[in-house]
């Protein structure tokens, strides 16, 4: 049940490319997190793409927009969902999803900064209530966490 926030420089991706990027990021998140296949479970994966004015985005104090497309991805996920191997896989898959989303004739390099932020149990509210890892496992259908029991 991740919340995925993606920041890119304005105009880096067309509306259609952003739609493809959102779909690709969602697909990778659902697979890595081993969410259930029910559309209600998949709908718990939220993705937001935010465009930042390109002139305000600097890398090392330099505007690199002619050579690169920088992208920050923040993934907020309940603590206990991902193993180290899953985190490694997640970062690689998200980078690849961004890379596949640019135009084939766009020769700029994709630069990603991906932050996986695990939210401690008792610090994530959903629909007006605090949820535990057990609640998330049940709602999202995490296949690898189906043995968890409620308190």
Q: What is the pLDDT of residue 34?
A: 97
Instruction: Give the pTM.
Output: 0.93
Positions in the chain whose pLDDT score sits under 50: none
Q: How far apart are CA 31 and CA 45, in angstroms?
A: 11
Q: What is the pLDDT of residue 83?
A: 97
Cβ neighbours for 72, distance < 8 A, ≥ 6 positions apart: 6, 7, 112, 113, 114, 115
Q: What is the pLDDT of residue 148?
A: 81
Q: What is the pLDDT of residue 150?
A: 61
């Amino acid at each position: 049940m991740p919340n995925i926030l993606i920041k890119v420089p304005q105009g880096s991706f067309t509306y259609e490319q952003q739609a493809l990027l959102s779909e690709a990021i969602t697909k990778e998140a659902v697979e890595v997190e081993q969410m259930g296949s029910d559309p209600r479970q998949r709908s718990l994966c939220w993705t937001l793409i935010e465009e930042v004015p390109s002139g305000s985005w600097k890398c090392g104090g330099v505007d690199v927009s002619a050579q690169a497309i920088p992208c920050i991805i923040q993934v907020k996920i309940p603590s206990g969902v991902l193993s180290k191997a899953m985190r490694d896989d997640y970062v690689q898959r998200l980078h690849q999803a961004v890379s596949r989303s640019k135009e084939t004739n766009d020769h700029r390099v994709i630069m990603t900064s991906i932050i996986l932020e695990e939210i401690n149990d008792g610090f994530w509210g959903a629909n007006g209530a605090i949820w535990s890892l057990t609640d998330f496992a049940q709602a999202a259908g995490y296949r690898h966490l189906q043995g968890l029991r409620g308190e």
